[in-house]
Chain A
Amino acid sequence: MSDARPASLFDIIGPVMVGPSSSHTAGAVRLGQIARAILGTQPDRVLIELHGSFALTGKGHGTDRAVVAGLLGFSTADDRIRDSLALARQAGMEVRFATCDLGPGAHPNALRMTLEAGATQCSMTGASVGGGLVLITTVDEYEVDFSGTYHTLLIVSQDRPGTINAVTNWLAAHQINVAFLSVGRKERGGDSIMLIETDDPVPAAVTEGLATFPWVRWVRYIPRITDA
């Protein structure tokens, strides 16, 4: 159960999950699932750096196994979570763990992941904020803020006029309603990141269409997290 006020009976009688801890285990699986979605495929190599309480009690809570289970695409209720480290080895995924200090402002249950699949690379910082809910705070060098409770699109593009309009028009043309939209950038005239959370799932064809816009560097789609 999270700090948020429960809306549904199923916030109380649920989630269905592999124990022992909704924040250290279920939330960690979700962080792995989201990292996998950002990379767009199963990683070949991953560095998982644990911060704070994740670093201190992660082993006892199975946080390490939970993150790797998420990277393998398992759900929070999957009985294979306990054996995920061996399963990752069998799948040819090279996993390294380290501890890190993400600074005093970081949530106690936070981690950073650096993933590679062939020539594709990405990094992500996120935290498990309670009740199995998570918050992603950086993707590559960009600051973001999303929880995976909506369908999420991440679009990195050149920072120039008209990009937001073009993207939202494209989504509207495909009947996709935008719930939240935010834009950030590192420097003026450099690349910018658009974070779009939608009510409706975004079909692959729509995501692929966005990727063909000439000023778009890359697009990633993270489907909404659902309970088993």
Chain B
Amino acid sequence: MKPLTSIAEWVEQAEAQNCGLHEVALQVEAQVSGQSREAIVAQFQQRLAIMRDSVSRGLATRQGRSLSGMTGGDAQRLAAWLEGRAPASGPILSRAMLYAIAVGEVNAAMGCIVAAPTAGSSGVLPGVLFSLQEGLGLSEMTVLQGLITAGAVGVVIGWRAMLSGAEGGCQAEVGAAAAMAAAAAVELQGGSPRQSAHALAITLKNMLGLVCDPVAGLVEVPCILRNASGAAQALLAADLALAGVESVIPPDEAIDAMGQVGRLLDVRFKETAQGGIAASPTGRRLAAQLRSEWDE
């Protein structure tokens, strides 16, 4: 038994069994790992709880600045502004951004998070899952199922393409996280496996080519706000897919295309802090300033 490596096969299996994507993902995980379903679900419950904690910590306490001092406080800024407002981005999407930033700030300040799929992209899934849960009143089990589906999307992307900024740019971190979240968002809103597949394809296509260009090589700028953007992309694609919009390019081919772009990306756009935002005059100035502080 091998892990899931094709979205098309996965959707077929779910349709054949007339079940959700999460159910097939659970069956495969049980066979690959030799663990019982109960044990797997229990571990997911634990990780979901840690994700929830990381959101509340980012919102409730003064998480403080990051080690570099470049970031911190934006989650609280946004939360205060949202208070009693009807933002143009809508109640669910604005909360998704808020939670994604909160987790990104906790991560940058050396707090505990769940990498999903990486530490740098760890805000996207909590943003999407918890904003939908709150906004639609979803049960804990429904959210858990979404998390399982998201994980399996990540497995497929890892097999067919890659899941690290150093290998494939930000499209392989926040892009992948957003694709994972999009499939989950469809499932927890009652969409079909096929609609989940199209949501993830649409998301990946819309984030194709995103480079990894962290200022001073740190997981802060532009990473934290990109988590908010990834969460937003996931919700937009989920709405499109739920409406019946389909990606002309099938999901597996969209993933393969992401992999190809990732391999072709210049090394300056793969976490080396040599290009993009990192190489902007302000990016370079901040990096030089930090380096001289560290050398002291």
Which residues does A use to contact B, with CB under 8 Å? 1-3, 5-23, 25-26, 53, 56-57, 59-62, 65, 77, 79, 81-82, 130-132
Main secondary structure of the interface of B (DSSP, over half): helix
The segment out of B87-95, B108-116, B193-201, B229-237 that lies at the interface is B108-116
A95 to B108, CA, bound (A): 24
Q: Is B113 in contact with A19, judged by CB distance below 8 angstroms?
A: yes
Residues from chain A with Cβ under 8 Å of B185 in the complex: none
Across-interface contacts of A19 in B (CB, < 8 A)? 106-113, 119, 122, 219
For the complex of A and B, the 8 pairs showing the least CB-CB separation, nearest first, are A19-B107, A12-B154, A9-B151, A57-B217, A1-B163, A59-B294, A6-B158, A20-B219
A8: nearest residue on chain B (CB-CB)?
B33
Q: Which of B68, B118, B159, B162 contacts A60 (CB 8 A)?
A: B68
Q: Give the complex CA separation of A1 and B158 in angstroms.
A: 9
Contact A65-B158, Cβ < 8 Å, known A25-B119, A60-B68? no
Cβ-based interface call for B216 (8 A): yes
Known: A14-B115, A21-B219. A3 touches B167 (CB 8 A): yes
Q: Mark B22-40, 1 if CB is under 8 A from A, else 0.
A: 0001000100110000001
- Shortest B264–chain A CB gap in Å is 17
How far is it, in angstroms, between the C-alpha of A57 and the C-alpha of B70 when the chains are bound? 14
A130 cross-chain contacts in B, Cβ below 8 A? 164, 166
B147 close to A (CB within 8 Å): yes
Asked if B117 is an interface residue, CB under 8 A from chain A, the answer is yes
Residues of A within 8 A of B290 (CB): 59-60
Given contacts A7-B3, A13-B47, A22-B118, contact A60 B147 (CB under 8 A): no
**Residue in B closest to A23 when the chains form the complex, CB atoms:** B166
Known: A8-B29, A60-B294. A1 touches B118 (CB 8 A): yes
Cβ of B111 and Cβ of A60 under 8 Å apart? no
Check A13–B147 contact: CB distance below 8 A: yes
Collect the chain A residues with CB atoms within 8 Å of residue B120's CB: 20-21
Give complex CA distance A164, B239 in Å.
Answer: 63
A-B contact pairs, 14 of them (CB 8 A): A1-B154, A2-B164, A6-B155, A8-B29, A9-B25, A12-B117, A12-B158, A13-B117, A14-B114, A16-B50, A19-B107, A60-B290, A61-B218, A61-B219
- Residues of chain B within 8 A (CB-CB) of A20 are 66-67, 107-108, 110, 119-120, 218-220
Given contacts A13-B44, A21-B219, A60-B67, contact A6 B3 (CB under 8 A): yes
A136 to B116, CA, bound (A): 26
Q: In the bound complex, how far is the Cα of B223 from the Cα of A68, in angstroms?
A: 26
B208 at the interface (CB under 8 A from A): no
Give the contacts of B249-270 with A (CB-CB under 8 A): none
**CB atoms of B155 and A59 under 8 A apart:** no
Within 109-151 of B, Cβ neighbours of A (below 8 Å) are at 109-120, 122, 125, 147-148, 150-151
CB closest chain-B residue, reference A22: B119
Shortest distance from the beta carbon of A61 to any chain B beta carbon, whole Å: 6
Residues in B neighbouring A56, C-beta threshold 8 A = 217, 291
* Contacting residues, chain B, for A21 (C-beta < 8 A): 119-120, 219
With both beta carbons as reference points, the residue of chain A lying nearest to B5 in the complex is identified as A5
Contact B67–A1 (Cβ < 8 Å): no
A196 to B284 CA separation, bound complex (whole angstroms) = 46
Interface check B152, CB cutoff 8 A: yes
Instruction: List chain B residues, Cβ under 8 A from A23.
Output: 166
- State the CA gap A222–B219 with chains docked (Å): 31
Give complex CA distance A130, B118 in Å: 10
Name the B residues within 8 Å of A59 (CB-CB): 67, 290, 294
Q: Is the CB of A9 within 8 A of B29?
A: yes
Q: Are B116 and A13 in contact (CB under 8 A)?
A: yes
* Nearest CB on A from B40, distance (A): 8
In the bound complex, residues from chain B placing their C-beta under 8 Å from that of A11 are: 155, 158
B219 touches A10 (CB 8 A): no
A25 contact set on B, CB distance < 8 A:
110, 119
Q: Beyond A19-B106, A20-B219: 20 further Cβ-contacts under 8 Å?
A: A1-B154, A3-B162, A7-B155, A9-B40, A9-B44, A11-B155, A12-B158, A13-B47, A13-B114, A13-B151, A16-B47, A17-B113, A19-B108, A19-B119, A19-B219, A22-B119, A23-B166, A25-B119, A59-B67, A59-B290
